[in-house]
Amino acid sequence: MPKININGVTREMTAEEVAEMEALAAEMPEAQQTAEERIAALEADNAHLKEALELLLSGVTEDE
Are residues 49 and 41 in contact, defined by beta-carbon separation less than 8 angstroms?
Answer: no
Mean pLDDT by 10 residues, the chain (64 residues): 90 93 90 92 97 90 63
This model's pTM is above 0.75: no
H or E element at residue 6:
strand 3-6
